[in-house]
Amino acid sequence: MIDGGQLSNDWRPTARLDRLRRRAELLRETRAFFTERGFLEIETPVLSRETIVDRHLDPLSVRCDMETGDASDSARGWLQTSPELGMKRALAAYGVSLFQVTRAFRAGEVGVRHNPEFTMVEWYEVGAGIDAGIERLSQYAERLLGRPPARRVSYADAFQAHAGINPHRATIEAMAEAGSRLGKTVPESLPRDPDAWRNWLLAECVEPHLGWGEPAIVWGYPASQAALARLHPDDPAVAERFELYVDGVELANGYHELLDANELAARARSQNRAREAGGKTGLPAPNRLLNAMRAGMPSCAGVALGFDRLVMIATGSTDIREVMAFPWDRA
């Protein structure tokens, strides 16, 4: 854009060419990794009538006027926060292990590790439980980043080591005291919700210490943070969920996937109630996914990985703008 006779440089990419070349190499390696292991690459809609219902994830809405004469074609669509809904419907239909490299969108996420449009690698391995899911994620990190095998650490042990509390039993007052002891200031906006306090303490006091030298995969999250994961069969207070950390950065989130459609519907209703209580808009129920699950989705482990963050780690970058050609402020 020309303004006042001066040519602005905001047309230029923010990433150096060598980093984009490395990004392209990592994309090729990703596809090779999964193809060699028998996964099918699939594409699912980025724009859909339904979306994941999560109190913490805010999808971008799009008005869809198809102008076909069919009133049902004029509706609100959602840019997907993850390809999860479409991939699980495909899992139910085909019953084979799948992976996808796609764009995902989340409102309000801008920062050194966030962009509202980003690249996600997501995969589902049929027949895998939580242990196999953790192992596959570790193998992927080894191959893409050249790091040693990931160390497994329980959610409780991570909090005990770096915050000095048991997160499954600690009261809000105990978590506030732990944060204060470690020099952290509690945000005034933090609600009196145990999970909000756990997430704050995790981000401020625990995550920065995880995954240095060797990646860390944290497992054993509270059942209240299960999202779309199963609960542990021997301990229903714990979810079969796991996350990958490298150099203090969360890269991936995985589940031994929930198969019970009625339980998922109940969780979606609970998440919508929490959204509305927090002043957010409720989201449509994922009815097509629920129908797919009722038809029969195979047992599997699934992982969603933030590819841009992985490229940041691989290239030693400190800002997501350094590994994207055109981030939000240049889009």
Per-residue pLDDT tens over the stretch 41-86 = 999 999 999 999 999 999 999 988 776 655 555 678 999 999 999 9
Q: Which amino acid is at 150?
A: A
The predicted structure's pLDDT at residue 72: 56
Which residues, given as ranges, of the chain have pLDDT below 50?
1
Euclidean distance between CA atoms 233 and 65, whole angstroms: 46
Q: ∠ CA(112), CA(117), CA(121), 5° rounding?
A: 95
Enumerate the β-bridge partners of residue 74: 65
Question: What pairing do the DSSP bridges indicate for beta strands 216-222 and 235-246?
Answer: antiparallel
Alpha helices by DSSP H, listed for 95-190, are 130-145, 155-163, 172-181
CATH numbers and ranges of domains, the chain:
8-150+214-330 (3.30.930.10)
The predicted structure's pLDDT at residue 36: 99
The predicted structure's pLDDT at residue 66: 72
Euclidean distance between CA atoms 315 and 146, whole angstroms: 12
Which letter, b or e, does each residue of 236-257 get, where b requires 16 or more Cβ atoms within 10 Å of its Cβ? eebbbbbbbbbbebbbbbbbbb
Q: What is the pTM of this model?
A: 0.93
Q: Residue 305: name the closest of 149, 152, 120 by CA.
A: 120
Q: ∠ CA(315), CA(317), CA(318), 5° rounding?
A: 160
The predicted structure's pLDDT at residue 51: 95
List phi, psi (to 5°) of 23.
Answer: -60, -45
CA–CA distances in Å: residue 69 to residues 74, 78, 212, 220, 224: 9, 21, 57, 51, 45
